Amino acid sequence: MIPLSFAQRRLWFLAQLEGPSTTYTNPTVLRFSGSLDHEALEAALRDVLERHEVLRTVFPAPDGEPYQRILPVSETGFALVVADVAPEQLTETVARTARQAFDLATEIPLRAHLFIVGPDEYALVVVVHHIAWDAWSAGPLARDLSVAYEARRTGTEPGWEPLPVQYADYALWQRELLGDENDPDSVLSQQVEYWREALAGVPEELALPTDRPRPAVRSYRGHQAELVVPAEVHGRLVALAHERGMSLFMVLQAALAVTLSRLGAGTDIPIGSAIAGRTDRALHDLVGFFVNTLVVRTDLAGDPTLAEVLEQVRETSFGAFEHQDLPFERLVEELAPARSMTRHPLFQVMLTLQNAGSAKLDLSGLKPSRMAGGAPTAKFDLDVTAAETFGADGTPAGIRGMVVAAADLFDGETSVQIAHRWVRVLSAFAEDLSVRVSAVGILDSAEREKLLVEWNDTVVDCGVSTLPGLFAVQVERTPDAVAVVFEGVSLTYGEVDARANRLARLLIAEGVGPECVVGLALPRSVDLVVAVLAVVKAGGAYLPIDLEYPADRVAFLLEDAGPVCVIAGSVDVAVGVFGGVACVVLGEPGVEERLAGLSGAELADVERLGPLVASHPAYVIYTSGSTGRPKGVVVSHAGIVNRLVWMQSRFGLGVDDRVLQKTPFGFDVSVWEFFWPLVCGAVLVVARPGGHRDPVYVGELMRREGVTTVHFVPSMLEAFIAEPAAVVGLAGPAAVVGGGLRRVICSGEALPVVVAERFFELFGGVELHNSYGPTETTVDATLWRCVVGGVVAIGSPVVNTRVFVLDEWLRPVPVGVAGELYVAGVQLARGYVGQPGLTGERFVACPFGGAGERMYRTGDRVRWSVDGQLVFAGRAD
Ligand code: AMP
Ligand code: MG
Mean pLDDT of the chain: 93
Query: Which tens digit of pLDDT belongs to each residue from 8-59?
Result: 998 998 888 888 788 888 888 888 888 899 999 999 999 999 999 999 999 9
Helix, strand, coil shares of the chain, percent, nearest 5, are 35, 25, 40
Which tens digit of pLDDT belongs to each residue from 741-771?
A: 999 999 999 999 999 999 999 998 899 999 9
Q: What is the pLDDT of residue 361?
A: 79
Establish whether residue 123 lines the binding site of ligand 1, counting it when its CB lies within 6 angstroms of any ligand atom. Answer: no
What number of other Cβ atoms are within 10 A of residue 656's Cβ?
13
- In three-state secondary structure terms, 582 is coil
Query: How much is the average pLDDT of 393-414?
Result: 95
> What are residue 743's DSSP bridge partners?
709, 767
- Binding site membership of 858 for ligand 1 (Cβ less than 6 Å): yes
Verdict on whether the full-model pTM lies above 0.85: no
- Residue 779 CA, ligand 2 centroid: distance in Å: 4
pLDDT of res. 339? 76
In sequence order, the 6+-apart residues with CB closer than 8 A to the CB of 547 are 521, 523, 573, 577
Atom number, ligand 1, closest to the C-alpha of residue 859: 10
Burial label, 487 (beta-carbon count in 10 A; 0-12, 13-18, 19+): middle
Ligand with an atom nearest the CA of residue 770: 1
Q: In this structure, which residue's CA is closest to atom 21 in ligand 1?
A: 750
Interval between CA 312 and ligand 2 midpoint (Å): 45
CA atoms of 133 and 144, how far apart (whole Å): 15
For residues 53 and 163, the answer to whether their CB atoms sit within 8 Å is no
pLDDT tens for each residue of 475-533: 999 999 999 999 999 999 999 999 999 999 999 999 999 999 999 999 999 999 999 99
Query: Which ligand sits nearest to residue 713's alpha carbon?
Result: 1
Residue 237 carries which side chain, given as an amino acid letter? Answer: L
- pLDDT recorded at residue 642: 98
Distance set, CA 396 to CA 236, 237, 384, 691 (Å): 9, 10, 20, 74
Say whether pLDDT at 631 is over 90: yes
Query: What's the pLDDT tens digit per position in 825-856?
Result: 999 999 999 999 999 999 999 999 999 999 99
Q: Is the CB of 778 under 6 A from ligand 1?
A: no
Q: Is 131:59 a contact under the CB 8 Å cutoff?
A: yes
What pLDDT, on a 0 to 100 scale, did the predictor assign at position 736? 46
Is the model more confident about 340 or about 671?
671
Give the pLDDT score at 737. Answer: 45
Is the confidence at residue 622, as pLDDT, over 90? yes
Question: SS3 letters for 231-260?
Answer: HHHHHHHHHHHHHCCCCHHHHHHHHHHHHH
Query: What ranges in 765-835 are assigned the alpha helix state H?
Result: none
Q: Is ligand 1 within 6 A of the CB of residue 315?
A: no
Count of C-beta atoms within a 10 Å radius of residue 501 = 25
Q: Where are the beta strands (DSSP E) in 249-326?
A: 268-275, 292-299
